[in-house]
Structure 1
Amino acid sequence: MAQDEAAPKTGSRDAEVLVAGGGMVGLAFAVALAEAGLEVVVVDHMDPAQFREEAFDGRSSAIARGSQQALEVLGLWQDMLPAAAPILDIRISDGRLGTLRRGGASALHLHFASEDVAQDTPEAGAAPRPLGYIVENTAIRRAGLDRVRDLKTLDFRAPAQLAGVTRGSGGVEARLADGSVIKARLLVAADGRRSAQREAAGIKVMEIDYGQTAIVATVAHSRPHHGVAHEHFLPSGPFALLPMTDAPGERKEGEKGETVHRSSLVWTEKRHLVAAMMAVDDAAFAAELQRRFGDSLGRLSLWGGRRWSYPLSLLHAERYIDTRLALIGDAAHGIHPIAGQGLNLGLRDVAALAECIVDARRLGLDIGSATVLERYQRWRRFDNMALIAATDSLNRLFSNDLPPVRLLRDLGLAAVNRVPPLKRFFMRHAMGLVGDLPRLVKGEAL
């Protein structure tokens, strides 16, 4: 499909749901509703062409099994698949620099393998399904933008600005900067951590600054990763190399380029050290990366010559709903990337809220009523709070180098590694297959 985006739509209209924010979560939610036949308007302030650019943010996301099933039902997964690298193994270690330099994990570690949950594969004799996938955010956004074009009941307006929103007992009225007026039964805020709609509703948030920054880049390596995700816990924070799809190498005229093996780097560091690390040249950065990770993937280098940095914090809204308003994704919660679950939480919000809305509509109920919204909040709040607590505790537990604490956590990793039922329990949680799952997450249509 052509990369040029059509001119943004204009004009006033009535809809059933207005979505503020057209990022990965906002578009997935809009697609879910439009697939079910609802009239949806999405408004985002950014030019969609920027979402398609490789250098937009440099990040990749872990897509858990449950999230992948939801994306497949929504017709989004097929376009992401060429950029989706399967995760076949996850190797977690409490790595200190000395052990990493020797190219190995610490003696006490945790290893998740797809074979450990092979019974989840329905076909007899079939290869075990991946634990999840790593997909570049750019590919996720492109799939959403392309899917939007196929849905007649989805009106995507970008770049466009919400100039003012009025929410009342009868519905929502939004005025855009171009003078257009959108009327809807419900406003859904998918406008990120600094959500303007959340702030306008006076919804308070709990926020904790971790004093850490994640350095993100794509790393090329001389040996294939074989679908293995590596996560080492260092005193400064988690240090992860996550498998990505291979890319074609540079070609000279008349010659075939070699394949480039790639992984996504998420390097958590204390914030006061990050400026200096971002300032060094690519060769020096790659040398430090090699020193920390070791040689298990061969020679490491930066691919694409770009690095990004993102301050890390925890954020959780005191409530997810207000009059004719629901929060989803980062507007409701933001977590540490230590377990790679941020986007998966947002996609479970999408699946749960879409199910609540579609079920209410089929019964002839008001989709923006307090009853419908309270069902969504009850459904999602416990799951989100449990994972927020887990990721926060993990980061605090592993982001120090006190010998007694290090010994206890290493023994904990080793204990889980040696108890297969306990290991499978943690794996199924990471795969998004535990709990009161929405239909989409179970791979079922709304």
Structure 2
Amino acid sequence: MTATMTSSTTPDAIAADVCIVGAGPVGVTLACRLAQGGMRVAIIDRAELPPMEHPAFDGRAYAIAAGSRRLLEQAGVWARLPMDSCDIREIRVTDGRPGQPPSRLFLEFGREDADQPFGAMIEARALRVALNATLYATPGIQVFAPDEARVTRTAEGAVIRTTSGRVINARLVIAAEGRRSPLREQARIPVTRLPYNQCGIVCAVAHERPHEGRALEHFLPAGPFAQLPMAPTAEYPNLSALVWTESEKVAYRQAELPHEAFTHEIRRRMGDEWLGAVTPVGRRWVYPLSAQYAQRYVDTRLALVGDAAHGVHPIAGQGLNLGFRDVIALTEVLVGVHGRGGDVGAPEVLRSYQARTRPANMLMLAATDVLERLFGNDNPALRLARDVGLAAVNRITPLRRSFARHAMGL
């Protein structure tokens, strides 16, 4: 990603306040919010965006917290979703073993704990369509995709050269490229990684009874098993997404099982009393799980957002939502500075962004790591302690509601 710098006043160069590298959900939403705040934005991605709009149901979905939904509404993305979302109105947290009934001690977040849904489930393909449509419809954004960036940063500004021959002069470059961010590596920002030696199996199931907006987080010795309510389709009137954690070897073996055997393994974990008979539909996906965090989020004329800055275990469904919290914080900082005529890439501006985001993100990473280690085992003493803990939180209404609001991003 490095390049020899030439003059930042190159003829015919494109002038931008911010250049975002990476057009995933976090990068696109940030681009839209900054442009809405009056900033000139360039966004670059290696992939051609329209082909990323997969038309067929593939079983993947996002859990969008209430605060993240508000952000997507403000960005204009939510209104462009081509299919319905599904509100999450209740969440039950249980503990158990495969093939056995869950513990009678549980934690449940209900409708009385919040004045709005805890979040919403949207299909991955629907979010991609809405992001692409909003990106091209928002004034003030120039999109370069497919294209690649070579970035040079100095104290005065940044020059971005693309493989298509374009030159962009920007005050700030934002890395939204994901966990293996080349811009982060170019800046030599150290990263600490926490391997879990686990994989998540992601798929969808049709079921006999309606879910009524209820989600399940069932902790098992190998890792959490989550059922998340989805909106109905013409083919599947009762539909849910599953995120199922196993050790690496077991996960790949389970994901390759024949249909009936795979269905049996799901039923051993879910039971039939909850949603009735279940049937897997769509594709099965297997993703290695780990956590990581950058030692800092900023460098000269550079800010990290989303997975380029942090990655957490999916045990609480907060990965993408943490990235959206970065967007909220960075938008407030940059739009405010820009409105005052300031330099959006100045060191004190970037320090302000880091101070607003990194401590809270580190707390979330630590919390998800502790949860995984506490619940991802079969130690009898720990099982009793965590079950009693769940039941205690369930009985203390103010504490339960505080947990709910934090998870909602409010």
| Shorter-chain TM-score range | over 0.9
**What's the counterpart of residue 132 of structure 1?**
119
> Deviations along 1:350-385, whole A, 9 cap, x unmatched?
011111111111111111000110000000011101
1:81 shift after superposition: 7.8
CA RMSD of aligned residues (A): 1.5
1:299 correspondence with 2:296 = no
Corresponding position of 2:319: 342
C-alpha distance in 1 between matches for 2:292 and 2:62: 19
C-alpha distance after superposition, 1:263-290 (max 9, x if no partner): 1110000112122112212222112111
Which residue of the partner structure matches residue 320 of structure 1? Answer: 297
Shift of 1:58: 4.5
In structure 2, what is the Cα distance between the partners aligned to 1:389 and 1:315? 11
2:228 is the alignment partner of 1:242: yes
What is aligned with 1:288? 265
Counting only pairs closer than 5 Å after superposition, residues 280-429 of structure 1 correspond to structure 2 as 280-295=257-272, 296-304=274-282, 306-429=283-406
Change (3 A) 1:50 1:106: farther
Instruction: Find out whether 1:79 has 2:76 as its counterpart.
Output: no
**Paired residue for 2:103?**
106
Where in structure 2 are the equivalents of 1:241-260 lying within 5 Å? 241-249=227-235, 259-260=236-237
**2-side partners of 1:294 and 1:157: how far apart?**
48
Partner residue of 1:146?
133
| Structure 2: runs of 5 or more not aligned | 1-11
Matched, 1:262 2:239: yes
The question of 1:230 aligning with 2:207 is answered no
1:329 and 1:349 in contact (8 A); partners too: yes
What is the alpha-carbon distance in structure 1 between the residues aligned to residue 65 and residue 157 of structure 2? 35
Deviation of the 1:12 alpha carbon: 4.4
Q: Which residue of 2 aligns with 1:26?
A: 27
Instruction: Kindly state the Cα deviation for residue 183 of structure 1 after the two structures are TM-superposed.
Output: 1.1
Name the SS for the 2:254 alignment partner. helix
Residue correspondences, number: 398
The runs of at least 4 consecutive aligned structure 1 residues that moved more than 4 Å come to 54-58
Q: Secondary structure at the match of 2:211?
A: coil
Aligned mates of 1:196, 1:309 — CA distance in 2: 24
Q: Indicate the larger mover: 81-90 or 317-326.
A: 81-90
Identity of aligned residues (%): 48
Provide TM-score, normalisation by structure 2: 0.94
Counterpart for residue 5 of structure 1: none
Q: CA deviation at 1:55?
A: 6.2
Could you say which residue in structure 2 is the equivalent of 1:436? none
**Secondary structure of residue in 2 paired with 1:149:** helix
Partner of residue 438, structure 1: none
The one-letter code matched in structure 2 to 1:150 is: A
Residue by residue, what CA displacement relative to the aligned partner does 1:64-114 show, whole Å, maximum 9, x if unpaired?
1111111112211122384311001000001222434xxxx3201100012
Q: Are 2:181 and 1:195 equivalent residues in the alignment?
A: yes
Which of 103, 114, 117 is 2:114 aligned to?
Answer: 117
Change in CA separation of 1:289 and 1:135 when aligned onto 2, cut-off 3 Å: same
Q: Which amino acid aligns with 2:16?
A: A
Residue pair 1:12, 1:181 contacting (<8 A) in 2 also: yes
Residue 56 of structure 1, CA deviation: 9.5
Q: Deviations over 1:41-77 (max 9, x none)?
A: 1100012123211569753221111111111122111
- Bigger Cα displacement from structure 2, 60-69 vs 331-340: 60-69
- 2:145 aligned partner: 158
Write the letter of the residue equivalent to 2:203.
A
Unpaired runs of at least 5, structure 1: 1-10, 119-128, 250-258, 434-446
Match of 1:61 in 2: 62
- CA 1:247–1:58 in 2, change beyond 3 Å: closer, same or farther? closer
Partner of 2:7: none
Q: Secondary structure at the match of 1:99?
A: coil
Residue 168 of structure 2 corresponds to 182
Deviation per CA, 1:5-34: give whole Å up to 9, x if none: xxxxxx841111100000000000000011
CA contact (8 A) 2:252 2:286 kept: no
- 2:237 is paired with a residue whose SS is strand
Q: Deviations over 1:182-204 (max 9, x none)?
A: 11110000000000100010001
Once the two structures are superposed, residues 230-283 of structure 1 have per-residue CA deviations (whole angstroms, 9 ceiling, x without a partner) of: 11000100001100000112xxxxxxxxx5311111000011212211221222
